[in-house]
Amino acid sequence: MSFQEQWLDLHVALLYSFKKKEEVIAILKQLSLEDGYNLVQRLIDKDPSQGQAQSSGSSGINRIWRHHSLKTAEFSSQCLLTTALIICPPPNSLSSLAIQLVNLQKRIGNSSQAVIEMLHTLVDQNKLMTSAHMYILCATLSEEVNRFTLKIAYYSLLILNKNIPFHSSATI
C-alpha cells in the first residue's frame, strides 16, 4: 500500500468520524469506481477485530480503525454503489461493488432482512437506474450470495421495480 493510499484512507476515516459526510462524498466522486472499491477494501482490511496486526504503531490511528473503519467502509460502499447505479451504460464494476457491499453487511453482522431493506432503499432512491442495472444487480446477487433470504432479495427487487425503462445504449 502506498503512502498516498494510507493518507487517503486516514483522511476519509477522519472526515467520516467527524460527521463530514458531504466531504467524504466529494472525495469519493473524485475517485474512479475501481479506486473507490479498493479504498473500501482497504478500510475493511483495517478492521482490527479480525486479529490483523496494524502496520502503524500509533494507538490513536489504531483507535480510528477500531471505531470507524467498518462504518466508513459501509458509508463509502453505499455511495459508490449508488453512483454505479446511475451511470449509463452500467459500469463493469457494478457487480463487484454490489458483492462488496453485501459481504460487508454480513461482516458487520446485519441480518439478511436488514441487507434486503438496505438494497431496496438504494434501488428506490435511484430513479435513473435502467433495467440493465437491475439485471446486473439481480444476477450478481443470485450468483454470488449463497444465503437463501438474500436470493429472495433479488426477486423482490425485480418485483418492486418491474417498470424500469430499458435504455438501448445500456449493455448487458
* Secondary structure of 125-146 in HEC code, one letter for each residue: HCCCCCHHHHHHHHHHHHHHCC
Q: What is the mean pLDDT of residues 132-150?
A: 74
- Cα gap 128→84, rounded to integer Å: 11
Between 63 and 51, where is the model more confident? 63
* Phi, psi angles (nearest 5°) of residue 86: -110, -5
Q: What is the mean pLDDT of residues 122-132?
A: 84
Between 22 and 172, where is the model more confident? 22
**Over 50: is that where the pLDDT of 25 sits?**
yes
Radius of gyration over every alpha carbon of the chain, rounded to an integer in angstroms: 17
Confidence of residue 126 (pLDDT cuts 50, 70, 90): confident
Predicted local distance difference test score (pLDDT) of residue 154: 63
**Over 60: is that where the pLDDT of 167 sits?**
no
Highest mean pLDDT among 9-13, 103-107, 165-169: 9-13
pLDDT in tens, 68-125: 999 999 999 999 999 999 998 999 999 999 999 999 998 999 888 888 888 888 888 8
Q: Is the dihedral of CA 58, 63, 64, 65 positive or negative?
A: positive
Helix (H) or strand (E) holding 30: helix 21-30
Confidence of residue 170 (pLDDT cuts 50, 70, 90): very low
Between 154 and 91, where is the model more confident? 91
Angle formed by the axes of helices 94-108 and 33-45, nearest 10°: 20
Three cell numbers, residue 100: 462488496
- Cα gap 150→154, rounded to integer Å: 7
Predicted local distance difference test score (pLDDT) of residue 68: 94
- Cα gap 82→76, rounded to integer Å: 10
- Cα gap 10→68, rounded to integer Å: 10
| Mean predicted lDDT score pLDDT of the chain | 83
